[in-house]
Structure 1
Amino acid sequence: MLRTATAVYAVRLSADRRWAELDTWGPRGAEDGPPPLGRPRRTHFITPADAAPAEYLPYGMRPFGGADLVVRRPGGERGVWWTFERATADGDRALRLEFTDDHLGLRVALRYETVPGTDVLLRWAELTCTGSEELRLERLDSAAIGVPVTTGARLTHLTGQWSQEFQRAQLDLTRGRFEIGATQGVPGHAYAPWLAVQDAAEPDEGATPTYGIALEWPGNWHITADAEPGGFVRVRAGRLPHEESIALAPGATISTPRLACAFSPEGLDGLTRVWHTYERRLAGERLHRTRKVLYNSWEATGFDVSADAQLELAALAADMGAELFVVDDGWFRGRQDETGGLGDWQPDPAGFPEGFDTFVEKVRATGMDFGLWVEPEAVSPTSALHAEHPDWVYRIDGRPATLVREQLLLDLGRTDVQEFVLATLDRLLDEHAVDYLKWDMNRPPTERGRPDGGPVGSQDLDADHVAGYLRVLDHLRARHPHVTVEGCAGGGGRIEHATLARTDVVWPSDNTAPLDRLAVQYGYLHAHAPHTMSSWVTDAPGVFDPRPRSLAFRFVLAAAGVLGVGADIRAWTPGQRAEAADWIARYKDVRDVIHHGTARLLNGPGDPACGVQYEEQGGGRVVVTAWSTGRLDGAPLVPGRPARLRLRGLDPAARYTDTADGTVYSGAHLLHSGLPFGWTGRYDADLVVLARQHTAPGPGPH
């Protein structure tokens, strides 16, 4: 029995003690009764292992239904036939199950660990070669889970493309297989390594048991859901080998990435809160750092970075209330456009004639912190770094290199490349007063080879790059704890729990257009917490949804996470800058509620009104960010009737006061009738703060 904050995950051995099975996953007390997935008494044309709700089984023992582990002895058979050795438990918070195949020379330890204060259970596997021969791992999933559904599963996943990440999608899986993943060396823009599972017969919300998984791995990955013949859905997930297999040498151990498994009895909205709680736990003590309002100069100046123009922007940003000024791409030598400079991380003296440090001091004199954009994994073919170390990039001897965005990718799995990146970042952060680092990655690896790294098939380039990336992030945390780190990969291409545990914020998408961004953030907040979501106000027109929206809409949208401004504010009128200052001040008053409160998604981008509700711990304040998603012209069907957002989770007996206009609502009214918004062409978004009234206790019983 593994117990989380409010749930239970119960594991048993099969009757013949050959594998582990899921007994129960659900609210506490659900384990009292027959297992919902049961045990098959007879099987026809498949094996008992194929029909069982097995937690983890190798090919050989589970030949038909999809194995979680495929191992081959070079020149020998493919398959594992293990026996159970032992179970070790740490109360109801951790479990280790060991299985061995002495003939093959393999030991597999299945690991389970709860996360205190959350309804998340972590699962992974440890694979050890105990024999004298090298083994080849063709598949090494982290875990598999049988989800108890009765009429097929409703799967919710996050899909999209560059500039359209985190689009929420759903499908019903009654039979067959569903699979998502990426082989781009990062999780990618097309799919997030996240999945939610519900019974297809149940509604999305309400008292609906909802199960979720998320893979902690910033490299190649997959998630597979199979509607099994036995009447349940079995989900498995893990990393994907770069080559066709991974070598496991005698005496060596490989640990798979951790798979976070979450449960909520309250539908997708409840599952969202479980993930938010978990990610606050990942942040640790850094959660309580103030995530400052930033201004980023990219959209104003592009590659044309000069001290005078940057300082003009800095003065305007500081007057509006920004607390952090970030110089984006173009500040270093050779970076007049995207064809050069990457790898040569020295400030360009032409852009800063009085010296870079003098420029930084002038920015900081405005009262703002200072930040820089970097792309440590990238190198320009024309750079001095590439001329000196052409062997540091991914390449295949005798084959042409593919340029993506006019750049190549460093092999961060190499120790010498890691040392270069560490030394470069240390120098920038030690020599200059930098408080914020935006780490970008704008291309996936293509010709992914390391000619001097041993024979083909002996390398695990994907895992090597991941290890190098995480090593650098860990170093930044330890060596420069005052520096705030933002994670970015051409937008949302590398967002998962390993990155979120080591960064302070991430950039969900390069698309900042209002209605486009609303859809991105709506999906993002299903999987990730508001305190991680960097969002800017810009003047960008819509790409996928070109309908115009007000400056207020853009500010309220960015305020739903960590507020930033990225527009060319020199082109704004004094009135627009004054409006911006007002929104920034309003955001600062409530950002602690947005970043640390309980969040609930209200409707979606396809509804006439969409919002996010944040409730302060203890319920003293409720903040609602709300947007009009429909047409802004023409009369409504019922003139004068406002759109309403029904709030959730409030005390129906309490009374709440709108701090802007003094309107008082009962909790019951807000839950049943909703918060009204009289949208017009000029009023298309709002940030509402409701203060819970302190009432004296009523008379006692007669």
Structure 2
Amino acid sequence: MTTPGRWTLRAENSSYTVRLSPDGPWAELEAWGPTGVEDGPSALDWSRRTHFITPADAAPAEYLPYGLRPFTGSELIAARPGGERGTWWDFDGAEEGDGSLRLAFTDPVLGLRTVLRYEVVPGTDVILRWTELTATTGELRLARLDSAAVNIPVTGAARLTYLTGQWSQEFQRTQLDLARGTFTMGSLQGVPGHAYAPWLAIQDGGRGGVGEAGGAGGAGEGGPAYGIALEWSGNWHITAEAEPGGLVRVRAGRVPHEGAVSLAPGETLTTPRLACAVSPDGLDGLSRVWHRYERRLSGERLHRPRKVLYNSWEATGFDVDAAGQLELATLAAEIGAELFVVDDGWFTGRGDDTGGLGDWYPDPAAFPQGFGRFVDDIRGLGLDFGLWVEPEAVSPGSRLYAEHPEWAYRIEGRPARLVRNQLLLDLGRPDVQDFVIGTLDRLLTTYDIGYLKWDMNRPPTERGRPDAAYDVLLDLDAEHVGGYLRVLDHLRATHPDVTIEGCAGGGGRVEHATIARTDVVWPSDNTAPLDRLSIQYGFLHAHAPHVMSSWVTDAPGVFDPRPRSLAFRFVNALCGVLGIGADLRAWTPQQRAEAARWIARYKDVREVIHHGDVHLLGTPEDPSFGVQYDDPRSGRTVVAALGTGRLDGAPLLPGRPDRLRLRGLDPRARYRDAGSDTTYSGAHLLHYGLPFTWSDGHDAELVVLTRR
């Protein structure tokens, strides 16, 4: 039975209930959690005592403007040009659909209509939220335009889990107990950035905070977990506030480039979507919710096998020529690679990183028989062919820059700063978008290219548009994002069979708008084994294995230099989409033979890895760490096990094998490991775990269990 002014959205295993507040003209959260959580008194209800604050400042409001909520953080700040900021609105109706909800509020004095949007993602426990803002009478200036606010009731400090880092050290899982005050993170770099991912998990830490579970439980501690992820490829923020009365309220949205956005009369602005997820099974369960959601984002492309890639960058750098690339491609084909990608250095003027960007034509000196003949030779080895591009970049010495200097971001009268010896094109301009689309269309139709790696290696600095009117308030960040997505949408529609990899100096642009339009993303330029393990551990909390491109290389550790075997590098890399980036010419025949065996094993289990349910077993700080993949359809469980710590002395000294306790198995079933010809009960694997005896020459295993 539907209660007036109260709406429940039902997801796969959870529900989200919103009501009109009895305290004022706003919507507020009543319940969010496992299905049925809405039956009973709201855990977010409060005492209505409001000393020195207003009811709106204390309420678990879904979205409120400054004006109604003046003290504890609002989602919207709007004003007429030159006028006082502030919005006071009235409820203007609801529109409920199958898995969707629209709640409208209007301010006739200011001339603003605000519609809160909700949509359940079928087959998941994700609810999308966003906001539509319409100027109904005159021009408006929006100084803040968040997508939504998310309310989490807590009994003490809230445990925040988020992903931090820097270039070469992205996606480091970081945790903070927030008892009081404000936590904020974001990016002003024109992309999500390397320092923070637009993703946050929130748990109730209780009075004493949430403790880490030891051993196999590192990712699953803390009971129910709530998560948000912002679908935006530009500037953003996420802000969590521990508010009076035991509530953590999280606001998230894009950040206007010039501090405000202009909204013309009759114009509607739609904010980025905020994905909201919940799991009763802690962070480990929350990761599986995100994985399922990203499989939905991939759509039919999910069922396209991710090919084993070889990329020549670490072998040749900018020294690209047909003969050297063919030599590497021949070796790659022999070990079982399915795709050969030529990275930076293939085009005219690109002998180093000081030139060539923008002039996207193959270097005739490097390919004397023609680039088309070279591509055909690669394909003649049985390999698909891929190419690296950086469409947003331009070199100052390029022909493109000489012809169109106005296409690069620049502030009139100020020097143009070079980052990585290059400038950034203003992709918000339609003529620049058309140039990029025309360039990529030409490459993809002239040559038989099946894979495109889109890179972006510098943030916008002097972000101005020289020929724009001086008195116009530009929204350059949103325009650049719109141009970027327009180009990707064109590629998806016009070249649907081309696999696209998203990259921005590593993991600088990994978020749901990009993931929805690409096939894989590149988490980091750091491929050192233990460094990469930490990166992938954080990445898999937020993102699915089928989008995680990972290479086997010879790179030494940057942050953790301890050596690891070739087996370790392969087992670590096959936790996502396997690639190889080492100089195969320097490998011994024995190393190449070992690589061929690992690639064959990966091909046998990649469907389980890319489609299965994932459990993170422990943390990279534990002596043993693993990633478990379960495929209920085939009855197979794959465990990528890695020895990360000090050895236990066995067999020279008394010692027992280390063990990884598995999760999610049927304790009454039996599971056979064909590799060791051992059969385990599910109860044994859940209680004791798989045994591993690590040594200096044995630090990784891939175990495949079949349910009998």
TM-score range, shorter chain: over 0.9
Q: Quick check: 433-442 or 640-649, which moved more? A: 640-649
- Which one-letter code corresponds to 1:337 in the other structure? D
2:634 equivalent to 1:613: no
2:100 equivalent to 1:94: yes
- What is the CA deviation profile of residues 566-620 of structure 1, one whole-angstrom value per residue up to 9, with x for unaligned ones? 0000000000000000000000000000000001100010000001000013361
| Alignment match of 1:421 (pick from 436, 439, 442) | 436
Alpha-carbon RMSD? 1.2
Q: CA deviation at 1:457?
A: 5.1
Distance change (3 Å), C-alpha of 1:636 and 1:90: farther
Rounded Cα–Cα distance in structure 2 between residues aligned with 1:680 and 1:692 = 29
2:551 equivalent to 1:536: yes
Rounded Cα–Cα distance in structure 1 between residues aligned with 2:259 and 2:583 = 48
Rounded Cα–Cα distance in structure 1 between residues aligned with 2:481 and 2:637 = 40
2:682 equivalent to 1:667: yes
Q: CA deviation at 1:636?
A: 8.4
Q: CA deviation at 1:230?
A: 1.7
1:50 — aligned with what? 57
- Which one-letter code corresponds to 1:59 in the other structure? Y
- Which one-letter code corresponds to 1:57 in the other structure? L
Moved over 2 A (4+): 39-42, 201-207, 453-457, 631-640
2:171 equivalent to 1:166: yes
2:334 equivalent to 1:327: no
Contact 2:90–2:105 under 8 Å retained in 1:
yes
| Alignment match of 2:73 (pick from 66, 72, 80) | 66
Rounded Cα–Cα distance in structure 2 between residues aligned with 1:637 and 1:532 = 42
1:482 — aligned with what? 497
- Which one-letter code corresponds to 1:469 in the other structure? Y
Q: CA deviation at 1:74?
A: 1.1
Contact 1:608–1:628 under 8 Å retained in 2:
yes
Q: CA deviation at 1:49?
A: 0.3
- Which one-letter code corresponds to 2:119 in the other structure? E
1:28 — aligned with what? 35
Contact 1:539–1:567 under 8 Å retained in 2:
yes
1:305 — aligned with what? 320
- What is the CA deviation profile of residues 227-281 of structure 1, one whole-angstrom value per residue up to 9, with x for unaligned ones? 0012110011000000011000100000000000000000000000000000000
Rounded Cα–Cα distance in structure 2 between residues aligned with 1:646 and 1:152 = 30
Contact 1:127–1:253 under 8 Å retained in 2:
yes
| Alignment match of 1:560 (pick from 565, 575, 579) | 575
- Which one-letter code corresponds to 1:551 in the other structure? L
Rounded Cα–Cα distance in structure 2 between residues aligned with 1:77 and 1:362 = 67
- Which one-letter code corresponds to 2:554 in the other structure? D
2:351 — aligned with what? 336
- Which one-letter code corresponds to 2:189 in the other structure? Q
Which ranges of structure 2 fall in alignment gaps of 5 or more residues? Answer: 1-7, 213-219
Q: CA deviation at 1:453?
A: 2.3
Q: CA deviation at 1:633?
A: 9.0
Q: CA deviation at 1:635?
A: 5.8
2:381 equivalent to 1:366: yes
Alignment of 1:286-305 (within 5 A): 286-305=301-320
2:16 equivalent to 1:9: yes
1:692 — aligned with what? 707
1:700 — aligned with what? none
| Alignment match of 2:83 (pick from 76, 80, 101) | 76
Alignment of 1:461-500 (within 5 A): 461-500=476-515
Q: CA deviation at 1:661?
A: 1.7
Q: CA deviation at 1:641?
A: 1.0
Alignment of 1:489-528 (within 5 A): 489-528=504-543
Per the normalisation by structure 1, the TM-score is 0.97
1:41 — aligned with what? 48
Contact 2:203–2:222 under 8 Å retained in 1:
no
- What is the CA deviation profile of residues 485-535 of structure 1, one whole-angstrom value per residue up to 9, with x for unaligned ones? 000000000000000000000000000000000000000000000000000
| Alignment match of 2:152 (pick from 136, 147, 155) | 147
Contact 1:113–1:122 under 8 Å retained in 2:
yes
2:403 equivalent to 1:398: no
Contact 1:535–1:564 under 8 Å retained in 2:
yes
1:444 — aligned with what? 459
2:5 — aligned with what? none
Rounded Cα–Cα distance in structure 1 between residues aligned with 2:222 and 2:166 = 33
Q: CA deviation at 1:451?
A: 2.1
Rounded Cα–Cα distance in structure 1 between residues aligned with 2:648 and 2:124 = 45
Rounded Cα–Cα distance in structure 2 between residues aligned with 1:606 and 1:568 = 30
2:214 equivalent to 1:199: no
| Alignment match of 1:122 (pick from 121, 128, 144) | 128
Rounded Cα–Cα distance in structure 1 between residues aligned with 2:552 and 2:573 = 6
Rounded Cα–Cα distance in structure 2 between residues aligned with 1:337 and 1:677 = 46
- Which one-letter code corresponds to 2:235 in the other structure? N
What SS class does the counterpart of residue 434 from structure 1 fall into? coil
- What is the CA deviation profile of residues 365-389 of structure 1, one whole-angstrom value per residue up to 9, with x for unaligned ones? 0000000000000000010000110
Contact 1:166–1:524 under 8 Å retained in 2:
yes
Rounded Cα–Cα distance in structure 2 between residues aligned with 1:668 and 1:292 = 36
2:196 equivalent to 1:181: no
Contact 1:40–1:48 under 8 Å retained in 2:
no
Rounded Cα–Cα distance in structure 1 between residues aligned with 2:511 and 2:56 = 32
Distance change (3 Å), C-alpha of 1:46 and 1:268: same
Contact 2:160–2:201 under 8 Å retained in 1:
yes
2:312 equivalent to 1:277: no
- Which one-letter code corresponds to 1:596 in the other structure? H
Distance change (3 Å), C-alpha of 1:17 and 1:49: closer
- Which one-letter code corresponds to 2:192 in the other structure? P
Distance change (3 Å), C-alpha of 1:637 and 1:468: farther
1:217 — aligned with what? 232
- What is the CA deviation profile of residues 75-133 of structure 1, one whole-angstrom value per residue up to 9, with x for unaligned ones? 11100000111011014x110000000000000000000000000000000000001x2
Q: Quick check: 595-604 or 636-645, which moved more? A: 636-645
Distance change (3 Å), C-alpha of 1:674 and 1:464: same
1:599 — aligned with what? 614
Q: Quick check: 30-39 or 524-533, which moved more? A: 30-39
What SS class does the counterpart of residue 524 from structure 2 fall into? coil
State the number of aligned residues. Answer: 691
- Which one-letter code corresponds to 1:79 in the other structure? G
- What is the CA deviation profile of residues 375-420 of structure 1, one whole-angstrom value per residue up to 9, with x for unaligned ones? 0000000100001100000000110011000000000000000000
Contact 2:261–2:474 under 8 Å retained in 1:
yes
Q: CA deviation at 1:452?
A: 1.5
Rounded Cα–Cα distance in structure 1 between residues aligned with 2:511 and 2:79 = 30
Contact 1:243–1:457 under 8 Å retained in 2:
no
Per the normalisation by structure 2, the TM-score is 0.96
1:683 — aligned with what? 698
1:137 — aligned with what? 142
Q: CA deviation at 1:17?
A: 4.7
- Which one-letter code corresponds to 1:141 in the other structure? D
- What is the CA deviation profile of residues 510-562 of structure 1, one whole-angstrom value per residue up to 9, with x for unaligned ones? 00000000000000000000000000000000000000000000000110000
2:115 — aligned with what? 109
What SS class does the counterpart of residue 503 from structure 1 fall into? coil
Rounded Cα–Cα distance in structure 2 between residues aligned with 1:339 and 1:16 = 61
Rounded Cα–Cα distance in structure 1 between residues aligned with 2:164 and 2:469 = 37
What SS class does the counterpart of residue 395 from structure 1 fall into? coil
2:3 — aligned with what? none
- Which one-letter code corresponds to 2:542 in the other structure? A
Rounded Cα–Cα distance in structure 2 between residues aligned with 1:145 and 1:371 = 42
